[in-house]
């Protein structure tokens, strides 16, 4: 991974000035993300809420993360460029007062010819699954490759993402660059709120059903182990599963029959809608997804080969089972294989 800046560029931390940030909405969107204007530039701000007890340590982590995201120049790193961070903003203090927050500010790729009055539309991958336009296999392969490359870049930089899921994969519609025209800017991996160096102290993440769907079973519950690279790969595999079937992970897991005898891609929509999806159902579906059996006999994963090709299926399986291949998290061989397979795939 090319992490050094081009010759002549000095790496430095950029602390931005809160009073120069013009917000478009006083409310935060899900994930603590909002559009704004900073010094006449369109920006996206991701807010990170920090427990005051650990503020000193986590503030340093925000500094390091901002430098990484500002000075990673490799073309295979598909993330919006960070232009700096905002120090704690008192206007966003939670009611209990036990947290403070910092903002990572990302520059949006916009045309200088477009006025600031034209706001970009940011869509997450999760919202596109219900969009009228369904992408081709080539487009889906490109999206998958971009996410796999970015995950590899982060890991070779010594960082864990900890939030890979479809609502943290962004596309930007602006002017004639729109998803409906197959010309949206993206994908960009976002959602760095809990990212950390691989050797740093782990930070507790919120527990909710939508996020737990993407978490490896070993990283859940009272007996969970510390987050590791293979857990990012598991989450990546879940997102690739969504891309392959072009369906949300919730719908995919809901299709797993309780007796696991019917392919998920053939489960009737009425069955999916009537199925109660709760914590017990989630754990049962994920356990079934990770059954270490011959993939050719797995009716659910075999459906991926039909919808997206055998190579795409192989990539997903490698991601989901990465922790079995490398439980000590000692290397990134699996990730390199995933990227190479996707680069070689042609439809």
Predicted structure pTM score:
0.86
The pLDDT mean for the chain works out to 80
Position 27 scores a pLDDT of 64
Residue 264's pLDDT band, with cuts at 50, 70 and 90, is very low
Q: Write the pLDDT tens digit of every residue in 161-200.
A: 999 999 999 999 887 788 888 888 899 999 999 999 998 8
Q: Write the pLDDT tens digit of every residue in 272-326.
A: 444 455 656 666 676 666 665 566 555 556 678 888 988 999 999 899 888 776 6
Percent of the chain with pLDDT over 90: 34
Residue 93's pLDDT band, with cuts at 50, 70 and 90, is low
Residue-by-residue DSSP string for 123-185:
EEHHHHTTSS----HHHHHHHHHHHHHHHHHHHHTTEE----SGGGEEEEEBTTB-GGGT--E
Residue 330: closest CA among 223, 241, 228: 228
Query: How far, CA to CA in Å, does 185 sit from each of 64, 78, 130, 165, 330?
Result: 26, 11, 19, 18, 35
């Amino acid at each position: 991974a090319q992490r050094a800046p081009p010759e002549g560029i000095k790496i430095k931390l950029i602390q931005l000035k809160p009073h120069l940030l013009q917000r478009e909405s006083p409310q935060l969107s899900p994930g603590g993300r909002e559009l704004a204007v900073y010094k006449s530039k369109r920006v996206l701000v991701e807010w990170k809420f920090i427990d005051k007890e650990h503020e000193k340590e986590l503030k340093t982590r925000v500094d390091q993360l901002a430098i990484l995201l500002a000075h990673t120049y490799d073309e295979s790193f598909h993330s919006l460029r960070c232009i700096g961070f905002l120090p704690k903003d008192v206007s966003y203090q939670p009611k209990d007062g036990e947290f403070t927050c910092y903002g990572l500010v990302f520059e949006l790729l916009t045309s200088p010819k477009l006025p600031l009055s034209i706001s970009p539309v940011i869509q997450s991958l999760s919202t596109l699954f219900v969009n009228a336009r369904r992408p081709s296999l080539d487009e889906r392969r490109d999206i998958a490759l971009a996410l796999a490359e970015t995950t590899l870049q982060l890991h070779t930089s010594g960082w864990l993402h900890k939030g890979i899921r479809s609502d943290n994969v962004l596309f930007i519609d602006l002017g004639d660059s729109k998803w409906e025209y197959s010309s949206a800017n993206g994908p960009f991996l976002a959602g760095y709120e809990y990212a950390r160096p691989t050797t740093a102290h782990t930070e507790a993440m919120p527990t909710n059903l939508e996020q737990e769907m993407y978490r490896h079973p070993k990283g859940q519950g009272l007996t969970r182990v510390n987050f590791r690279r293979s857990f990012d790969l598991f989450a990546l595999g879940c997102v690739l599963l969504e891309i392959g079937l072009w369906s949300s992970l919730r719908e995919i897991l809901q299709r797993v029959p309780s007796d696991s005898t019917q392919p998920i891609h053939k489960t009737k929509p009425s069955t999916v809608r009537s199925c109660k999806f709760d914590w017990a159902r989630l754990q049962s579906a994920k356990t079934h997804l990770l059954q270490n059996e011959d993939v050719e006999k797995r009716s659910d994963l075999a459906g991926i080969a039909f919808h997206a090709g055998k190579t795409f299926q192989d990539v997903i399986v490698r991601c989901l089972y990465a922790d079995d291949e490398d439980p000590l998290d000692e290397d990134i061989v699996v990730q390199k294989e995933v990227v190479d397979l996707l680069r070689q795939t042609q439809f």
